[in-house]
A and B are shown apart, each in its own frame.
Chain A
Amino acid sequence: MTSRGNESALDELALSEEDILALVRSGARRFTRQLRWRDRGEVIAGVIVAAVIIPAAFRGPWLSRVGAIVIVAGLVLVAFRLWHAQRLGGPGATDASLSVADTLRAELRRVTVQISLLEGVVWWYVTPLAGGAVMLVAGSHPASWFTAAYVLAAALVGWAVVALNMRVVRRDLRPKRDELAALLARLES
């Protein structure tokens, strides 16, 4: 038996060494660009926190200072949770040289950890950050309409964050987990 039988666009692609290197380079550029943008996002967020929140921890009413400290502590908690989830989830599908079954298991573990992370987003992300932000504002504008509106806005934003994360879990991660589990079961059956 031979696998030849249908013509494909790939047949027109002669893989010279230059072609192979060009394909790898353009793919690597795309990959590096994605990483660079992600890293830039983290750096920008860090700079904003440093510039706006940290000084507030050292001046102003005590409640505002506590709020600023809670936000900074919340950001540390967020960073820890993300790092911890990454560590628990393992390298996922990034190590493509594992056997197919091991790769599927690693990916399944990664997705399961991700689901657990997002399902708990209200506790490790929304509550400390929104709570800290409310304290920060309430300290400088005690018992005002502004504070009331801010609390309402923070609650709405918090609700939206939770809803968006639950949506990702429901529409993306759970089907992905089920698909991986089915593939693994298919492989092992």
Chain B
Amino acid sequence: MLTLVRENEERLRRICRVYARNEDQRDLLQDILLQLWQSLPSFAGASSPHTWLYRVALNTALAYARKYPAQREMPIDEDHADMEDPADVRADLDERERLTQLHAAIAKLDVVDRMLVTMYLDDRTYREMADVIGISENHVGVKLHRIRKALARQLAEEIA
């Protein structure tokens, strides 16, 4: 388990940053490590180590976020189908400011969407995301499409 945690340290930190306030991130990390340790017997090679780790970490983070809601959530509105392309929006911002705004926008997503964004930012495939969350690959694609639009809208509002 130590090897797995060391190899995925940055992933776990990222999940903690997304789901807990600054001062609570250590507590969430501890909860995740404990869950990983307790869930080790259930990891019998049925899924890849990454999928297993993501499942345990995200389930723990989701439970933590439900217990200690910290972020204002922004529902995704599907009626904004003709939004500007995210690439155009991004072009108007310098790298650092863009990242700050992107993180602020991600923090306003609801807990379910934050899971997908976390894995998307980690370059996980649709198949892996579907395995972790328990929905189809097509569904993952649809949800990510909506999330991208919502983030683009949020960033466009920031610029305006």
> Which residues in A have some Cβ–Cβ distance to B below 8 Å?
1-6, 8-11, 13, 15, 17, 20-21, 23-24, 26-28, 31, 93, 95-104, 179, 183, 186-188
Contacts and interface: CB of A to CB of B under 8 A. Distances in A.
A100 B55 contact: yes
Contacts, number: 121
B52 A179 contact: no
B30 interface: yes
B29 A96 contact: no
B71 interface: no
B91 interface: no
Interface residues of B, number: 51
Interface of B: 2, 5-6, 9, 13-14, 16-18, 22-23, 25-26, 29-31, 33-35, 37-39, 42-43, 47, 52, 55-56, 58-60, 62-63, 66, 99-100, 102-103, 110-112, 115, 118, 121-122, 131-135, 139
Contacts of A23: 29-30, 33-34
A20 B134 contact: no
A27 B30 contact: yes
A20 B55 contact: no
Nearest to A186: B112
Contact of A27 (B6, B31, B55, B131): B31
Contacts of B110: 186
9 contacts: A1-B121, A3-B103, A9-B23, A10-B16, A10-B17, A13-B26, A20-B6, A28-B37, A100-B58
Choose among B23, B59, B110 the residue with the greatest number of A CB atoms under 10 Å from its CB: B59
